[in-house]
Amino acid sequence: MNDNHDESGYIVRVRFREKGKLYTFDGAGVPVEKDDRVIVLTEQGEAIGMVMSVTKIVDAARVSEQMKPVLRKASSNDLTRAAENCDVEREAFQFCKKKIAERDLAMRLVEVSYLFDRSKLVFYFTADSRVDFRELVKDLVAAYRTRIELRQIWVRSEARLFGGLGMCGRELCCSGFLNSFGTVSIKMAKEQNMLLNPEKISGVCGRLMCCLAFEYDMYREAKKHMPKCGKNVMLSQGRGKVMRQKVLENKIVVDLGDGKETEVSIDEIIRTDTPKSQ
């Protein structure tokens, strides 16, 4: 990295899980590069993560005081501890899964995370309803002698953790590049003239696909300049009724009243009329 690293401010983006959210840290005084393993300070103490990007800030004063610092590049001892923690996570996952089955709890274990300083084990799970896991917590405390937290997550978060391919053939958006989940509604599918078939508009998580939100604003803006379905329009060929909109092509399909439909560009519309009430 630059020799002037210590003289400038740096914002370092770090990911703690392979498919997890990106977090920003103050990298002042710690020369790091992309793909370095680093130790950072979080609200829960020290944590180890992977550097995804480093951004130079000419005015170091612009770095937020609220931003936690990068403490150091991970040493060999840090990497050893991280590897040992991973072993504990795998063992704890199997142990917890076994206890869930023994106690016949209606929950699905998704992942186990062991804090870097070994102060707490976090068990992530999904469930359709409220689960009384007090006895399970006792089992886990007795086995690992540390703080235990059971955290319920969305099925969307589960899909992000496991990854996979969407119906488009590409990596799931949530595990590939989305840092957070936005609101997705059935209205977005309607606005884009999609068939309201659950198999066509749902992701592997069973919820509406995140990508429905990507082009929603564009469709909504484009439709402001197009006559709605059912409207009467005047063309050079005569008056007709709008049957369908082809937003991406900036065209509409019009029935001229002779039983045939014609496809025209928006620029070919002479006038738009409101249908007369019968």
Q: How confident is the model at residue 61 (pLDDT cuts 50, 70, 90)?
A: low
pLDDT of amino acid 161: 77
Residues ≥6 apart with Cβ < 8 Å to 103? 135, 136
pLDDT in tens, 64-89: 677 899 999 999 999 999 999 999 99
Q: What is the pTM of this model?
A: 0.69
Q: Which has the closest alpha carbon to 83: 110, 59, 48?
A: 48
Residue 63 has pLDDT above 70, yes or no: no
154-204 pLDDT tens trace? 888 888 777 788 888 888 888 778 877 888 999 999 989 888 888 889 998
> Of the ranges 26-35, 66-75, 89-98, 125-134, which is most confident?
89-98
Residue 241 has which token pair?
A: 């009724």
Amino acid at position 233, single letter: V
Q: What is the predicted pLDDT for the residue at 85?
A: 96
Is the pLDDT at 131 greater than 50? The verdict is: yes
Q: What mean pLDDT, rounded, does the chain reach?
A: 87
| Residues 247, 222: Cα–Cα separation, whole Å | 7
Q: What are phi and psi of 144, to 5 degrees?
A: -115, -5
For the purposes of burial, counting CB atoms within 10 Å of the CB of 30, is it exposed (0-12), middle (13-18) or buried (19 or more)?
A: buried
Domain 80-153: state its class.
alpha beta
Among 86-100, 157-171, 246-260, the range with the most confident prediction by mean pLDDT is 86-100
- Is pLDDT above 90 for 115? yes
> What angle is formed at CA 106 by the lines to CA 101 and CA 111, rounded to 5 degrees?
75
Residues making up the chain, counted from first to last:
278
pLDDT score of 18: 75
What's the one-letter identity of residue 127? A
Whether the pLDDT of residue 40 is over 90: the answer is: yes
pLDDT at 276 exceeding the cut of 60: no
Please give the angle made by the CA atoms of 165, 169 and 174, to the nearest 5 degrees: 40
What average pLDDT does this structure show over 52-70? 77
Q: Please report the pLDDT score of residue 17 as a whole number.
A: 80
Beta strands in the chain (DSSP E): 9-15, 22-26, 37-42, 45-57, 70-73, 108-114, 120-126, 147-152, 232-235, 238-246, 251-255, 261-265, 271-273
* Res 2: pLDDT: 46
Give pLDDT, residue 144: 95
Between the CA of residue 116 and those of 24, 74, 113, 149, 240, what are the distances in Å?
Answer: 18, 12, 9, 15, 69
Note the pLDDT of residue 1: 46
Predicted confidence (pLDDT) per residue in 222-244, tens digit: 888 888 888 898 888 888 888 98
Q: What pLDDT does 59 receive? A: 63
d(CA 15, CA 65) in angstroms, rounded, equals 20
C-alpha 193/C-alpha 220 separation (Å) is 11
Residue 120's SS3 state is: strand
Distance (Å, whole) CA 23 – CA 40? 10
